[in-house]
């Protein structure tokens, strides 16, 4: 095949894949499956669910909860290991530390996580995979119904303003 028609074909393929990326860059089936694997491993390690390990909650603000717990660990998915940061978000407005400690289940609003997925997953945003779960492990959704899993734009646009260059607000530690 002449080189010129090859490059036309490649050009078409690129244009098609660019459209696909623009159409849905997070919340795809693959993102949802990946988020489900992460939730399962959090359950298996008691990082989520009824027997989840507890820390002392501290006051937070919007868009996360009014009381927060944050955990830093590592996890392995499909043979890749990376940093996993888990934030539990408690509410409602005005909730106290004692109320949260006394009844976590009643006050848990959401579990938001960042997992360093690696392998060139998202080079411009340090390879973080983002997800926001409801307390039962299902994915929360953006206002247009897109499941919040993957390279979630809303999460990234705010977290890009964190200092330290790694999209993390609570720490500038080197989490690989
Ligand atoms: C408007 C800004 C904003 C948006 C949008 C946002 N976050 Fe955050 N996020 C923060 C702030 C501020 C903190 C630090 C809170 C604290 O004091 O613990 C934080 C902390 C976190 C942490 C703990 C790691 C860290 O950065 O210190 C995780 C995990 C997290 N957010 C996940 C998410 C996910 C997932 C989404 C999207 C569904 C999201 N965030 C959307 C502002 C935001």
pLDDT, tens digit (0-9, with 9 covering 90-100), for 1-44: 444 544 444 444 444 444 444 557 899 999 999 999 999 999 99
> Long-range pairs for 72-80 at CB < 8 Å and ≥24 separation?
72/171, 72/173, 72/175, 73/45, 73/47, 75/38, 75/41, 75/42, 75/45, 75/115, 76/41, 77/34, 77/37, 77/38, 77/41, 77/115, 77/117, 78/37, 80/117, 80/118, 80/119
**Predicted confidence (pLDDT) at residue 162 exceeds the cutoff of 70:** yes
Ligand 1 pocket: which of 87, 116, 153 to mutate (most atoms within 8 A of CB): 87
Exposed/middle/buried for residue 29 (C-beta within 10 Å: 0-12, 13-18, 19+)? exposed
Residue 21 lies in a domain: no
Cβ(124)–Cβ(156) below 8 Å: no
Distance of CA 97 to the CA centre of its chain: 25
**Predicted confidence (pLDDT) at residue 111 exceeds the cutoff of 60:** yes
Give the whole-angstrom CA distance, residue 79 versus residue 81: 7
Mean pLDDT calculated for residue range 37-61: 96
Q: How many structural domains compose the chain?
A: 1
Residue 95 lies in a domain: yes
Residue 176 lies in a domain: no
Residue 174 lies in a domain: no
130 beta partners = 114, 150
Ligand 1 pocket: which of 159, 164, 166 to mutate (most atoms within 8 A of CB): 159
Residue 100 lies in a domain: yes
Residue 133 lies in a domain: yes
Nearest Cα residue to atom 24 of ligand 1: 168
Residue 44 lies in a domain: yes
The range of the structural domain enclosing residue 82 comes to 26-159
Residue 11 lies in a domain: no
């Amino acid at each position: 095949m002449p080189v010129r028609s090859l490059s036309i074909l490649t050009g078409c393929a690129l244009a098609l894949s660019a459209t696909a990326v623009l159409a849905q860059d997070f919340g795809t089936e693959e993102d949802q499956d990946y988020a489900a694997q992460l939730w399962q491993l959090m359950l298996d390690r008691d990082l989520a669910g009824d027997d989840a390990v507890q820390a002392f909650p501290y006051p937070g603000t919007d868009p996360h909860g009014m009381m927060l717990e944050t955990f830093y660990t590592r996890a392995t998915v499909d043979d890749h290991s990376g940093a996993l940061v888990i934030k539990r978000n408690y509410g409602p407005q005005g909730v106290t530390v004692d109320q949260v400690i006394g009844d976590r289940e009643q006050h848990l609003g959401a579990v938001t996580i960042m997992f360093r997925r690696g392998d060139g997953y998202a080079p411009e945003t340090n390879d973080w995979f983002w997800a926001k779960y409801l307390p039962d492990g299902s994915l929360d959704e953006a206002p247009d119904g897109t499941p919040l899993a993957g390279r979630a734009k809303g999460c990234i646009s705010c977290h890009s303003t964190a200092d330290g260059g790694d999209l993390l607000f609570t720490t500038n530690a080197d989490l690989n």
